[in-house]
Structure 1
Amino acid sequence: MAEEMTADGFAPLRIRRVVRETSDAVSLVLDVPEHCMQRFRYQAGQFLTVRVSVDGRDLRRCYSMSSAPAEEELRITVKRDPGGVVSNWINDSAAEGDELRAAPPEGRFVLPKDVSEDEPLVAFAGGSGITPIMSLVRTALSESERPVRLFYANRGRGSVIFSGPLAHLAEQHADRLTVEHHYDEDGGVVTASAVTSFATPAGAGHYYVCGPAPFMDTVEAALLESGVAKQRLHLERFTIAEVPPGVTDDTDEQCEQVVIELDRQKVAAAYRQGETLLQTARQKGLKAPASCETGSCGTCMAKVVEGSARMRINDALDEDEVEEGWVLTCQSLPTSRKVHVVYE
């Protein structure tokens, strides 16, 4: 009998193939059990939350799919990260036949629906940020006639993930795909002028940005300054800088109590300064939903029904949702004496 998904939604996925992309990046092609197929259907740009045991520790990390749904396979790509326990374990030890546990795909870094065929997809990727971008590019090229422009920044030529596949796509879709490589070793880090120069021919398209924080900040600021509408700018952040305990804005009121409703439970907790609403929920033993914990996926969203909170990062909720009181609890710090949030 096939092993079922666990209570927290993780299923066993066997590694069918290991593909060495660069000296410090590897792709894993994963087999999904037949009884989980429907739940593991994904959209281009989404990610998996993977759970592995390393040195006796149960660890969870989010990795984007680099495959496209049309390819009928599930592939994640993981780059080695200095000090990254799971990414290094995958690069050093993951082998064909091994088993990973993963939760079903999530994420909002996806292609919009009902886009006209003449609206270009413009993507900016830095380093391993190419992973979800590659899925988006492959999908746009295979399922539409939209023009696609990709600006891909790396430290050097040896760091380029998917060098061969990108060259093949550029040749196969020479009339629609433009790829520009940037190497820091040649011209320094990416500048705002380089971003604007690449984006200008595209006009009113949809813009996707993924990569290291400084790269993303530069691209985001340049695109907004050049007139790109915020609703057409899509960001996927892999990591964030943590706010040290005790650090709040001068305008924040000292919070004393957080009330949380989840799964028909209602608990009250004394607030510990510097903790997010998600951390507070966990302190009370609640199994609050969460996945990326970088403000990108929306899994942890809850509604503030009393009091207020501010989000350090929000790359998942639109303006209407924020106005209605929704917050990403992984990124939210209370700004009133009492905050009451409801997970729905």
Structure 2
Amino acid sequence: MDETVVSVRGVRTVGPDTVALDLETPDGFDALPGQFVLLRATIEGEELSRYYTLSSPTVGETFEITVGVDPEGDLTPWLADLDAGAEVRIEGPFGNVHYDDEGDVVVVAGGPGIGPAVAIAERAVEHGHEATVVYQDDEPAHEDRLVELEDAGSLVQVFDDDADDEVADAVGAATDRGEVYVFGFQDFCELVQDALADAGVDPDEAHVESFG
């Protein structure tokens, strides 16, 4: 979809320095969890843009993106302070990494990767499949949704930032539990891909979205 103006329906805190934005769904917009949009805004005359992955399992009247807020940043504090009714511009969706409702999933998230990870896990559970979540972050976000996934029978494991070995072990132990999806910064994605290789799984078979 070409650039489209959409309204912000709501902004809420979902973790330390983390907010979720509910955005109005424009006509013709359809996306699967794992895909992302390009968000644009003009702030004090400066055009700013960032990519944000959907963190809602479905797209209805609205869809959700999760934003990590850098207090020193140029765009994210502005997004966090928006009121309902404010407008932003989006393009998309983009991305070949997405979940299409087929089979069990293992979603592995580092930091901001938790947004698409919980979306895919929730979508899998909604369609009668099993979900495993491996998440590394000192200050977890979307904890309420992780609890709900656990209550629904999902295996959810959360690790501190200094627990790389534990994350690798958890990934290796989960490789037979479903299709693997990985979201996070490059170093984290490489850690997970190495863990998959050590477990005898071809890392190229995993669906990996690196945030750079």
Normalised by the length of structure 1, the TM-score is 0.57
The 8 Å contact of residues 37 and 92 in structure 2, kept in 1 or not, is answered as yes
Distance change (3 Å), C-alpha of 1:212 and 1:153: same
Distance in 2 of aligned mates of 1:86 and 1:79: 11
How many aligned residue pairs are there? 212
1:165 is aligned, of 134, 145, 166, to 145
SS at match of 1:109: coil
Distance in 2 of aligned mates of 1:204 and 1:23: 30
Identity of matched residues, %: 27
More strand as a share of residues: 2
Aligned to 1:316: none
Considering only aligned residues, what root-mean-square deviation do their CA atoms show, in Å?
2.1
Equivalent positions of 1:98-247 (< 5 A) are 98-111=86-99, 115=102, 117=103, 120-143=104-127, 145-155=128-138, 159-171=139-151, 173-174=152-153, 177-184=154-161, 188-191=162-165, 194-203=167-176, 205-239=178-212
Distance in 2 of aligned mates of 1:201 and 1:151: 9
The 8 Å contact of residues 16 and 141 in structure 2, kept in 1 or not, is answered as no
Distance in 2 of aligned mates of 1:14 and 1:122: 33
Unmatched 5+ stretches in structure 1: 240-344
The 8 Å contact of residues 175 and 201 in structure 2, kept in 1 or not, is answered as no
What is the CA distance between 1:59 and its match in structure 2?
A: 1.4
Distance change (3 Å), C-alpha of 1:23 and 1:231: closer
Aligned to 1:28: 21
What is the CA distance between 1:50 and its match in structure 2?
A: 0.6
Distance in 1 of aligned mates of 2:68 and 2:54: 13
Aligned to 1:283: none
Distance change (3 Å), C-alpha of 1:29 and 1:197: closer
Distance in 1 of aligned mates of 2:143 and 2:170: 23
Could you say which structure has the larger radius of gyration?
A: 1
Deviations 1:81-120 (A, max 9, x none): 36532123212x222110001113111111257x4x4xx3
Normalised by the length of structure 2, the TM-score is 0.90
Unmatched 5+ stretches in structure 2: none
Distance in 2 of aligned mates of 1:62 and 1:147: 29
SS at match of 1:216: helix
What is the CA distance between 1:230 and its match in structure 2?
A: 3.4
Q: Considering Cα pairs closer than 8 Å and 6+ residues apart, tell me whether 1 or 2 has the greater RCO.
A: 2
Letter in 1 for 2:145: P
